[in-house]
Chain A
């Protein structure tokens, strides 16, 4: 197995198969938690952890999971990692855990993870699956980070909680749900026109 192939598994998730902007999965959490950069990083790492854990375990067990019950087995694996993240975040980062709220347990129904388990980890060796998970997780976190940066700067005049300008009148609508919808719509349109 060449290192070039592994690198390819990693980079494809960032732009070519970006889960959010190209494949359009996992949208709910992206829009909901992107009000602050801090939340975005918390959510991005939680998601990458679950993705990595479930991809490695599914790939490890891929020959022993009976085909008929594979979806429930995937759900249990993903659910276990989600519960781990939920409990760990609650213990060590209670402020972020509270901000992310219901979207932490909802990682379990995030289509990105089950799609990667089904489409990639169930067919590929462990190392490839781990790289795939890291790439997709990074691509997800990157989009989240970009949207959160735009929304936090325009909607609150801050970046990572630090005040950027004086005398700036924040555009409140960017912090509210409509801001999220409009930002992601414009980002998708920009990516499409660049890709062409």
Chain B
């Protein structure tokens, strides 16, 4: 149990997917302008991440390994993720229009979010069992959401600030991300 909690905290804070592993930067820069968008995107990512990692974990150990076609991992995983995102979108549209309205616009963006594929592959590379896979995945999603919320709350204020013209928008966002990353080093003492 202690091991699992440590894994969760390490994935959220110490090896944060955005600040330490550089994953999911495109949606991170694109959707971090408003807090409400950041929360929506974060929830959508956690939702798809969980389904994709568990599904790809079973696929690896039930199909790819027994058939000795591990080299097809990249192609199989990306197709499964793309299909899954499409499927989730259709199911949400039919069953829960409210949830679809909240998460729907973020879903197409997610299939090209490298976090999803990265977590699926990392689970296999690190030889995680199913429980660790779930914990690692939740940690990855929460870490990404935390990074998004932090960034969007800063950027909402920056919109009104008088910043140099060439730094406005993305350049400043990157520099701020760098400063947050320095702050996140503080967490490495926690472990």
Footprint of B on A, CB under 8 Å? 24-29, 31-32, 71-72, 75-76, 79-80, 82-83, 86-87, 102, 105-106, 108-111, 114, 173, 176-182, 184-186, 188-190, 192-193, 196
Contacts and interface: CB of A to CB of B under 8 A. Distances in A.
B174 A188 contact: yes
A75 B71 CA distance: 16
Contact of A82 (B23, B74, B113, B177): B74
Contacts of B114: 28, 106, 109-110
Contacts of B25: 27-28, 31
Contacts of B173: 185
Given A28-B24, A185-B173, A179 B75 contact: no
A63 B74 CA distance: 26
Interface in B98-154: 112-114, 116-118, 121-122, 125
Contacts of A72: 79, 82-83
Interface in B17-36: 19-26, 29
Chain B interface mostly? helix
A109 B113 contact: yes
Contacts of A180: 22, 178
B137 to A, nearest CB: 15
A interface, over-half SS: helix
B183 to A, nearest CB: 9
Contact of A28 (B26, B82, B170): B26
Contact of A184 (B24, B26, B174, B181): B174
A108 B75 CA distance: 8
Nearest to A181: B178
Interface string B159-187: 00000111100111111011101100100
Contact of A27 (B29, B112, B118): B29
Contacts of B26: 24-28, 111
Contact of A181 (B75, B122, B167, B175): B175
